[in-house]
Amino acid sequence: MTTTEARPTERKPPQLVDMSWDPITRIIGNLGIYTKIDFANREVVECHSTSSLFRGYSVFMKGKDPRDAGFITSRICGICGDNHTTCSDYAQQMAYGVKPPPLADYIVNLGEAAEYIFDHTIFQDNLVFVDFCEAMVKSTNPGVLARAESTSAPRGDIHGYRTIADIMRAFNPFEGEVYKEALKVSRITREMFCLMEGRHVHPSTLYPGGVGTMPQPTTFTDYLSRLMRVIDFVKKAVAMNDDVFDFFYEALPGYEEVGRRRVLLGCWGAFQDPMTVDYRYETMNTWGKQMYVTPGIIVDGELVTNNLIDINLGLRIMLGSSYYEDWVNEKPFVTHDPLGNPVDMRHPWNQTTVPVPQKRDFDDKYSWVMSPRWLDPRTGDHLALDTGGGPLARLWSTALSGLVDTPYVKATGHSVRISLPKGEKLPETTFEWRIPQWSNTIERDRARPYFVAYAAAMALQFLEEAMGLVRAGETKVFENFEVPDEAIGCGFHEAVRGVLSHHLVIKDKKIANYHPYPPTPWNASPRDKFGTPGPYEDAVQGQPIFEENGPDDFKGIDIMRTVRSFDPCLPCGVHMYVGKGKTLTTLHSPTYGANHG
């Protein structure tokens, strides 16, 4: 088993209550969390994560023109659709054997950097912080709020708030300063995105082979002026997050156990180096390591591999608790990769999706999500990797590999140093994200603003280099290609909330097989055939409960913080079931606290 070991505690006779949240709010899609909570020992005993949503992209993509894949797969998501387009283009470029001109890759990188800044800001400040805001903490842990009132904020000189409670008030939805400013910032960062990719969130100017963006000097200067407007906001966000999260560790001793799981992180890398990437499978190891977010798999704090070919070959899609028929008896599409390595039947290239709708049964099959795992060649374990909400795995992997060394970002082997230039009010600032002790709720949330800073810093470098190309007259942004009769391709990218891969098989110039694997199938996966629970289940199971409310007015804030820390991407109202036969249906407004004040 690859799960987190149980935490040893002194036990009282259990007082078990079923508690369920289905669907979970402030995330996208139909994610349900079903738990058994032991109120006597204040911990979660059992957890099942379930999705009642079937999409079937892999089913209806078959037979379509592969050139359409980027436009179709973009519609998988309404918030990170461009990540799918980018990833699909990477896979197609491998299949077509085309390398876009460097300026096109810079434009894609700049668009993606704007997306990371936009999405992380809106998710963190407008959705995650509702769980940490004054109104919420008042109703779940009034003792903690009282302490926050008297705790001064150590980084107040940067963000301007005197006490921790002042920051929490700024987080209050609809009326808090941070909440409102984050909305304004998300408009600016969205404009940055649109300058590069034409439209948010389904890009209109990204194609395999290059981009349709007109690379004129103003494209880049308009982007730069917007980036410089938000740069101080980013610096403040990092400082504020550190203050609040440090306070939680201090005010609630043992809070590090909330959402803690064994360090099993996966990152597929982002930001190609436009000068070296050629999108060929054979050289994927080389250009993969040159990405500006290094890919990697981290097990127990140790880097297992940062070779994209190894990462690709180790992918296994397991069934066990999912509503699908197995495909092992189907004909494989790809038996060997272009380097001659055997490709497993459970690899996405060979997967066939055969849905079998049925009743939900937590002892058997209970979710539409499959269970993607990574086969550890050292132990033979099928690892249930998580993405740490995206930023945690990206920063961890980049820090451990120590390969990124740029003017604004430097990976040291144990940390990542990010330098941001002088903004309107705040001076030049260098942040250092250090590899944390745990992979838990707080660290997942803390990594997010650091990655916003990371993306902003990388964007500055991409801008300088792209403007250099424009000044030299190298304004070519598209390369012609022919669609081959038969080809295979794979794309590895980072969606905002973590790993993203697209696997493509072309036959007769049409798509024979197409499997996108976004981050949430990894994070929300149910138990596989070995019984290994998925990351949400594993993180929530066994976690202590710090909420002061009892079973009658229980909000499940600690569980919600854990699930949301993964940035789940699976809309609104809370449906809650308490105990046996007593159904409590609470209809909430979309965001908690809407009626507050």
Partner 1 sequence: MGSIRVGRAQARPDTPRHVMGMHQGNRGPYKDQKGHHEDGTADARRSTGIHWKRHDTLAETMPNISPG
Three-class SS state of 502:
strand
214 belongs to the binding site for partner 1 (CB under 8 A): yes
Among 101, 274, 372, 423, binds partner 1 (CB under 8 A): 101
Q: Compare residues 302 and 508 and give the one whose CB is closer to partner 1.
A: 508
CA distance 297 to 299: 7
587 belongs to the binding site for partner 1 (CB under 8 A): no
482 belongs to the binding site for partner 1 (CB under 8 A): yes
Among 480, 585, 586, 595, binds partner 1 (CB under 8 A): 480
Which helix (H) or strand (E) segment holds residue 118: the answer is: helix 102-123
Contact yes or no for 347/313 (Cβ under 8 A): yes
Least gap, CB of 479 to partner 1 (angstroms)? 8
Three-class SS state of 165:
helix
CA distance 478 to 475: 9
Q: Which of residues 367-386 bind partner 1 (CB under 8 A)?
A: none
471 belongs to the binding site for partner 1 (CB under 8 A): yes
Among the candidate windows 206-214, 369-377, 550-558, 578-586, which touches partner 1 by CB under 8 A?
206-214
> Which residues pair with residue 264 across a beta bridge?
299
- Token pair belonging to 456: 């902003």
Least gap, CB of 358 to partner 1 (angstroms)? 11
Among the candidate windows 5-13, 214-222, 230-238, 384-392, which touches partner 1 by CB under 8 A?
214-222
100 belongs to the binding site for partner 1 (CB under 8 A): no
Q: Compare residues 224 and 470 and give the one whose CB is closer to partner 1.
A: 470
How distant, in Å, are the alpha carbons of 186, 229, 233, 235, 292 from that of 420? 19, 12, 11, 8, 16
Least gap, CB of 52 to partner 1 (angstroms)? 16
- Reference 567, options 74, 212, 79, 2; nearest CA is 79
- Reference 464, options 79, 41, 113, 22; nearest CA is 113
Q: Which of residues 304-363 bind partner 1 (CB under 8 A)?
A: 325, 354-357
Least gap, CB of 432 to partner 1 (angstroms)? 39
Among 9, 15, 152, 216, binds partner 1 (CB under 8 A): 216
41 belongs to the binding site for partner 1 (CB under 8 A): no
Least gap, CB of 105 to partner 1 (angstroms)? 14
Least gap, CB of 490 to partner 1 (angstroms)? 20
Among 26, 48, 67, 555, binds partner 1 (CB under 8 A): 67
Among the candidate windows 152-160, 195-203, 479-487, 533-541, which touches partner 1 by CB under 8 A?
479-487
Least gap, CB of 212 to partner 1 (angstroms)? 9
Full strand arrangement of the beta sheet holding 498-507: 486-495, 498-507, 510-517
- Token pair belonging to 540: 């929530």
Q: Compare residues 222 and 246 and give the one whose CB is closer to partner 1.
A: 222
Among the candidate windows 176-184, 216-224, 298-306, 530-538, which touches partner 1 by CB under 8 A?
216-224
Contact yes or no for 243/167 (Cβ under 8 A): yes
Among 483, 512, 576, 578, binds partner 1 (CB under 8 A): 483
Q: Which residues of 342-360 are buried (b: 16+ CB within 10 A; e: fewer)?
A: ebbbbbbbbbbbeeeeeee
> Long-range contacts made by residues 176-184, C-beta under 8 angstroms, separation at least 24?
176/133, 176/134, 178/125, 178/129, 178/240, 179/125, 179/126, 179/129, 181/125, 181/233, 182/121, 182/122, 182/124, 182/125, 182/126, 183/122, 183/126
Cα dihedral sign, 545-366-439-235: negative
Among 45, 228, 375, 470, binds partner 1 (CB under 8 A): 470
Least gap, CB of 100 to partner 1 (angstroms)? 11
Q: Which of residues 416-455 bind partner 1 (CB under 8 A)?
A: none
Among the candidate windows 25-33, 217-225, 284-292, 538-546, which touches partner 1 by CB under 8 A?
217-225
Least gap, CB of 209 to partner 1 (angstroms)? 6
Q: Compare residues 75 and 507 and give the one whose CB is closer to partner 1.
A: 507
Q: Which residue has the tokens 């984050």?
A: 182
- Reference 285, options 211, 338, 345, 344; nearest CA is 338
475 belongs to the binding site for partner 1 (CB under 8 A): yes
Among 7, 15, 65, 282, binds partner 1 (CB under 8 A): 65
How distant, in Å, are the alpha carbons of 387, 455, 501 from that of 198? 28, 19, 23
Spatial CB neighbours of 590, under 8 Å, sequence gap ≥ 6 = 25, 26, 571, 572
Q: Compare residues 54 and 438 and give the one whose CB is closer to partner 1.
A: 54
Q: Which of residues 149-178 bind partner 1 (CB under 8 A)?
A: none
By CB under 8 A, the count of residues binding partner 1 is: 34
Q: Compare residues 172 and 513 and give the one whose CB is closer to partner 1.
A: 513
| Chain center to CA of 395 | 12
CA distance 21 to 36: 12
Q: Which of residues 503-532 bind partner 1 (CB under 8 A)?
A: 509-510
Q: Which residue has the tokens 């190298």?
A: 474
Q: Compare residues 46 and 325 and give the one whose CB is closer to partner 1.
A: 325
Q: Compare residues 100 and 372 and give the one whose CB is closer to partner 1.
A: 100
- Token pair belonging to 445: 């949330």
Full strand arrangement of the beta sheet holding 415-420: 409-411, 415-420, 429-434
Residues that bind partner 1 (CB under 8 A): 59, 63-65, 67, 101, 207-209, 214-219, 325, 354-357, 470-476, 478, 480-483, 509-510
